[in-house]
């Protein structure tokens, strides 16, 4: 490889030496010996600096040239011709070929390519010695290359073509197309060679091989050549411009001498000559075309210009191909996305839409597996981790928080438990659907085990000497150093990330819409609750009043007609009164029941032991003289609405008393057991019991399993119990058998869940 290793190169992961900034790689004040460099002042074109080798090429020592007009060195005719060319050069333009210059010196005839460019107010004139062959017309070569480039349809094809044509044009032993990745590591993506130099195809070179400063030079000056790495540098005299005292900026000088470190590097690579042409895409360094030859070799300036032209054609086509490939993928992603969006909109539910179109779901991200996690569900599609692993992953993502879209091509690197399932999910792309719950759509990609060939171990490059000085040691061996890259998936493309981001927006939109619908349902519910309240309010007034009147007037009738009524008449009136009172009672009970469902819970700590004793004393007033044995076990303290719970316990205890009325020796047992997350309470009696067939009816409103004459009551007690317990997130049920007693159970959640 041709590597400008003039700069220090940082120790990877360690020191970032500032030598980079200190070493003026563009100001060596020396040149390679395959030509002469002169710095001219304007407008007189007098020589202000010249390379020490002027005598060899021009037959004149620097002293004989310095301070003299250019014509002194090259003859007036040539100088005048060059002056015309120089006049046309624009400031800041790249070196251009001005003309061929022939000079007789040292008993031979030299043919030079005279190349000029401006640096500040100076003109740099370089006379590059050529082999004397006439300048070829490279137009057909570039033309053919352009035609071929237009025909290729893939990037590998294009890079292959570039390497082949560049070698055909230059005749170097080996031509490489070298591409930078996002971390500025380089990979040889194409190669053409005659076998005289080892193949480096697919080799990687660490970013430190070409430090940032050298890369910047590659970007601004697209061409470099070192015809013979064994050269001895030739100094400029004077080394500084006398007028300014500054060293010449040689960034664009084609003869510029390179760092000895770089020459060592070339020797390690067994190449005597090298050349490179930068490939820029959108103004950024994309890669290099790199030329090597075992023996010293050069390529004339016009050939190098042709190579540069080819590299630019290459870059244009590359952009086009990448753009097309990106577009195609984008189209695929978009159409999959819009299909899913349409189904989602149609169904109003993203889960079922995604589930029923797995091909589009997987296709969007070009993934092998996907998972949809919502509050309750975990749907797995394709090749995925297990449900348990997926849920754990989602919890981790949720805990990490905040990112709407998360992606990695090395999940084991950020989430260690995933090494268990890296075979299916080394790559993860995730979109968060909710800020409140771990709801996600996840895409997985399997591990891709890559073997990467490095041009030597990527870390071994510089070492720190005992005195603390960092010394560069170009690798002495370019034997392939293999590294197996594990725990990685194929990286996610930007089009895919955009696709899932779109999808996320749609999902979040639809989730929001549902939330709005729920909110409006809630509002409706509140409205109808209000109506219900108004209804029961008017029932309590309007229905009770006439019942009271019936009772009142019937009473008055009985009084005013006393002595005039038969026994039957008396019985009729008594029934009117009794029924109306009963109806009033029912209305009251019903309203009480509806109030239980509506009123807010006011939870306090309730010692159930105390509550049960208190209620027992109370209900026993109606059971004086009966033979009743109470067994009340220890009872816990619970968190509940005291009023409601009192009502429920009272109903249960008075039921127990009521339905044991015909039992001789009554035993009533109250107790509880602890079942982890809830308390289970029971009230057990040895009364009439009930037929289990009707157990389901027991807790209904106005449900009765016994005849009026036997057991009075409105049949609302157990409905109240159930409502109270359900309001406390508990359950109610009953067990029993006819004439064998009944046991009523209810549960209350343990304290941890209580507020």
Partner 1 sequence: MKDAMLKPILLVEDNPKDLELTLLALARSNLANEVVTVRDGKEAIDYLFRAGPYLDRPEGNPAVILLDLKLPKMDGLQVLERVKSEPNLRAVPVVMLTTSREERDLVLSYKLGVNAYVVKPVGFKDFIDAIQELGVFWAVLNEPPPGSLRPDRIR
Query: Does position 548 bind partner 1 by CB under 8 A?
Result: yes
Query: Does position 720 bind partner 1 by CB under 8 A?
Result: no
156 vs 597 by CB, closer to partner 1: 597
Is-cis flag, bond preceding 309, omega within 30? no
Strands (E) in 433-474, as ranges, are 440-445, 450-455, 462-464, 470-472
Pairing of strands 732-736, 678-685: unpaired
Q: Which of residues 114-173 bind partner 1 (CB under 8 A)?
A: none
Segment near partner 1 (CB under 8 A); pick from 64-72, 100-108, 537-545, 684-692: 537-545
Which strand (E) or helix (H) includes residue 313?
helix 301-347
Rounded to an integer, what distance in angstroms lies between the CA atom of residue 304 and that of residue 718?
A: 99
**Out of 139, 219, 435, 549, the residue judged to bind partner 1 by CB under 8 A:** 549
Residue 672 main-chain phi, psi, to 5 deg: -155, 160
Segment near partner 1 (CB under 8 A); pick from 52-60, 359-367, 585-593, 648-656: 585-593
Residue 370 burial class via C-beta count within 10 angstroms: exposed 0-12, middle 13-18, buried 19 and up: buried
CB 344, min distance to partner 1, A: 46
Query: Does position 585 bind partner 1 by CB under 8 A?
Result: yes
Segment near partner 1 (CB under 8 A); pick from 350-358, 457-465, 475-483, 583-591: 583-591
CB 705 within 8 A of CB 691: yes
Segment near partner 1 (CB under 8 A); pick from 298-306, 522-530, 588-596, 718-726: 588-596
CB 387 within 8 A of CB 378: yes
Rounded to an integer, what distance in angstroms lies between the CA atom of residue 753 and that of residue 729?
A: 10
Query: Does position 584 bind partner 1 by CB under 8 A?
Result: yes
Rounded to an integer, what distance in angstroms lies between the CA atom of residue 708 and that of residue 711?
A: 5
Query: Does position 22 bind partner 1 by CB under 8 A?
Result: no
**Out of 595, 603, 646, 704, the residue judged to bind partner 1 by CB under 8 A:** 595
Q: Which of residues 596-635 bind partner 1 (CB under 8 A)?
A: 599
281 vs 544 by CB, closer to partner 1: 544
Residue of 740, 737, 742 lying closest to 691 (CA atoms): 737
CB 574, min distance to partner 1, A: 13
**Out of 348, 552, 633, 696, the residue judged to bind partner 1 by CB under 8 A:** 552
**Out of 498, 588, 678, 735, the residue judged to bind partner 1 by CB under 8 A:** 588
**Out of 111, 312, 544, 646, the residue judged to bind partner 1 by CB under 8 A:** 544
Segment near partner 1 (CB under 8 A); pick from 250-258, 267-275, 544-552, 611-619: 544-552
Task: Extract the tokens encoding 7.
Answer: 């700069």
Rounded to an integer, what distance in angstroms lies between the CA atom of residue 84 and that of residue 88?
A: 7
Going by the DSSP 8-state scheme, the letter that residue 743 receives in this structure is E
Query: Does position 547 bind partner 1 by CB under 8 A?
Result: yes
Segment near partner 1 (CB under 8 A); pick from 140-148, 474-482, 575-583, 666-674: 575-583
Rounded to an integer, what distance in angstroms lies between the CA atom of residue 123 and that of residue 200?
A: 40
Query: Does position 556 bind partner 1 by CB under 8 A?
Result: yes
**Out of 512, 545, 642, 740, the residue judged to bind partner 1 by CB under 8 A:** 545
Query: Does position 723 bind partner 1 by CB under 8 A?
Result: no
Please list the alpha-helical segments (H only) found in 425-566: 494-542, 544-560
Query: Does position 739 bind partner 1 by CB under 8 A?
Result: no
148 vs 581 by CB, closer to partner 1: 581
Rounded to an integer, what distance in angstroms lies between the CA atom of residue 351 and that of residue 374?
A: 8
CB 515, min distance to partner 1, A: 32
Rounded to an integer, what distance in angstroms lies between the CA atom of residue 636 and that of residue 639?
A: 10
Contacts of residue 27, defined as CB under 8 A and 6 or more positions apart, other chains included, come to 247, 248, 249, 250
Three-state DSSP class for residue 733: strand
Rounded to an integer, what distance in angstroms lies between the CA atom of residue 86 and that of residue 349?
A: 73
Query: Does position 529 bind partner 1 by CB under 8 A?
Result: no
Instruction: Residue 244: count other Cβ atoms within 10 Å of its Cβ.
Output: 12
CB 578, min distance to partner 1, A: 10
Distances (CA, A) of 165 to 193, 289, 290, 547: 11, 11, 13, 109
The count of chain residues that interact with partner 1, using the rule CB under 8 A, is: 23
Rounded to an integer, what distance in angstroms lies between the CA atom of residue 723 and that of residue 700?
A: 10
280 vs 587 by CB, closer to partner 1: 587
Segment near partner 1 (CB under 8 A); pick from 28-36, 122-130, 403-411, 552-560: 552-560
**Out of 146, 540, 579, 703, the residue judged to bind partner 1 by CB under 8 A:** 540
Query: Does position 530 bind partner 1 by CB under 8 A?
Result: no
Which strand (E) or helix (H) includes residue 290?
strand 284-293
CB 364, min distance to partner 1, A: 56
Query: Does position 551 bind partner 1 by CB under 8 A?
Result: yes
Strands, sheet with 666-675, edge to edge from the N-terminal-most edge strand: 628-632, 666-675, 678-685, 742-749, 732-736
Distances (CA, A) of 31 to 15, 19, 37, 53, 665: 31, 22, 8, 10, 122
**Out of 187, 580, 720, 747, the residue judged to bind partner 1 by CB under 8 A:** 580
CB 716, min distance to partner 1, A: 15
**Out of 63, 523, 537, 731, the residue judged to bind partner 1 by CB under 8 A:** 537
Task: Extract the tokens encoding 496.
Answer: 């895919």
490 vs 550 by CB, closer to partner 1: 550
Three-state DSSP class for residue 669: strand
588 vs 614 by CB, closer to partner 1: 588
225 vs 577 by CB, closer to partner 1: 577
Query: Does position 553 bind partner 1 by CB under 8 A?
Result: yes
Query: Which positions lie near partner 1, rule CB under 8 A?
Result: 537, 540-541, 544-545, 547-549, 551-556, 577, 580-581, 584-585, 588, 591, 595, 599
């Amino acid at each position: 490889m041709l590597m400008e290793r003039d700069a220090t190169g940082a120790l990877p992961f360690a020191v970032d030496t500032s030598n980079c900034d200190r070493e003026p790689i563009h100001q060596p004040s020396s040149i390679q010996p395959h030509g002469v460099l002169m710095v001219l002042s304007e407008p007189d074109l007098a020589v202000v600096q010249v390379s020490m080798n002027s005598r060899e090429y021009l037959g004149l020592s620097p002293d004989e040239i310095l301070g003299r007009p250019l014509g002194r060195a090259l003859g007036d005719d040539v100088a005048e011709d060059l002056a015309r060319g120089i006049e046309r050069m624009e400031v800041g333009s790249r070196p251009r070929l001005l003309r061929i210059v022939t000079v007789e010196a040292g008993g031979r005839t030299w043919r030079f390519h005279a190349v000029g460019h401006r640096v500040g107010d100076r003109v740099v004139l370089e006379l590059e010695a050529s082999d004397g062959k006439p300048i070829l017309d490279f137009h057909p070569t570039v033309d053919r290359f352009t035609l071929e480039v237009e025909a290729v349809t893939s990037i590998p094809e294009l890079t292959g073509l570039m390497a082949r044509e560049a070698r055909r044009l230059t005749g170097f032993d080996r031509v490489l197309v070298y591409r930078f990745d996002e971390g500025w590591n380089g990979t040889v993506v194409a190669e053409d060679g005659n076998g005289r130099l080892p193949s480096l195809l697919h080799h990687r070179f660490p970013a430190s091989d070409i430090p940032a400063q050298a890369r910047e030079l590659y970007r601004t000056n697209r061409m470099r050549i070192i015809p013979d790495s064994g050269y001895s540098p030739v100094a400029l005299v004077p080394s500084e411009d006398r007028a300014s005292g500054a060293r010449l900026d040689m960034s664009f000088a084609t003869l510029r001498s390179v760092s000895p470190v770089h020459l060592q590097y070339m020797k390690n690579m067994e190449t005597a000559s090298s050349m490179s042409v930068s490939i820029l895409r959108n103004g950024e360094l994309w890669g290099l075309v790199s030329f090597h030859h075992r023996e010293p070799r050069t390529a004339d300036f016009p050939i190098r210009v042709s190579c540069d032209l080819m590299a630019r054609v290459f870059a244009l086509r590359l952009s086009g191909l990448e753009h097309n490939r990106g577009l195609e993928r984008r189209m695929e992603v978009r159409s999959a996305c819009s299909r899913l969006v349409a189904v989602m909109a149609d169904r109003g539910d993203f889960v079922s839409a995604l589930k029923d179109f797995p091909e589009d779901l997987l296709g969007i991200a070009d993934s092998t597996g996907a998972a949809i996690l919502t509050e309750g569900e975990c749907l797995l599609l394709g090749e995925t981790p297990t449900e348990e692993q997926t849920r754990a992953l989602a919890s981790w993502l949720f805990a990490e928080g905040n990112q709407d879209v998360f992606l990695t091509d090395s999940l084991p690197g950020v989430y260690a438990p995933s090494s268990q399932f890296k075979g299916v999910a080394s790559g993860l792309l995730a979109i968060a659907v909710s800020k409140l719950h771990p709801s996600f759509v996840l895409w997985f990609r399997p591990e891709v085990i890559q073997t990467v060939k490095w041009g030597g171990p990527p870390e071994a490059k510089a070492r720190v000497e005992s005195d603390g000085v960092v010394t560069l040691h170009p690798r002495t061996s370019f034997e392939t150093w293999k590294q197996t890259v594990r725990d990685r998936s194929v990286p996610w493309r930007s089009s895919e990330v955009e696709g899932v981001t779109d999808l996320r927006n749609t999902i979040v939109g639809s989730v929001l819409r549902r939330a709005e619908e729920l909110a409006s349902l809630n509002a409706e519910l509140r409205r109808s609750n209000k109506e219900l309240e108004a209804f029961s309010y008017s029932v309590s007034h309007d229905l009770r009043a006439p019942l009271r009147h019936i009772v009142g007037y019937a009473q008055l009738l009985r009084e005013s007609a006393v002595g005039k009524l038969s026994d039957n008449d008396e019985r009729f009136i008594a029934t009117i009164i009794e029924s109306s009172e009963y109806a009033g009672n029912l209305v009251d009970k019903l309203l009480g029941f509806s109030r239980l469902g509506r009123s807010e819970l006011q939870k306090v700590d309730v010692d159930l032991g105390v509550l049960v004793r208190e209620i027992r004393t109370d209900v026993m007033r109606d059971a004086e003289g009966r033979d009743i044995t109470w067994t009340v076990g220890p009872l816990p303290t619970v968190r509940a609405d005291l009023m409601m719970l009192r009502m429920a316990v009272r109903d249960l205890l008075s039921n127990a008393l009521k339905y044991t009325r015909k039992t001789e020796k009554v035993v009533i047992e109250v107790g509880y057991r602890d079942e982890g997350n809830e308390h289970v309470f029971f009230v057990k009696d040895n009364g009439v019991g009930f037929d289990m067939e009707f157990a389901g009816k027991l807790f209904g409103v106005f449900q009765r399993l016994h005849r009026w004459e036997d057991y009075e009551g409105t049949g609302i007690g157990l409905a109240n119990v159930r409502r109270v317990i359900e309001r406390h997130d508990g359950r109610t049920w009953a067990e029993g058998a006819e004439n064998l007693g009944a046991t009523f159970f209810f549960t209350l959640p343990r304290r941890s869940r209580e507020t």
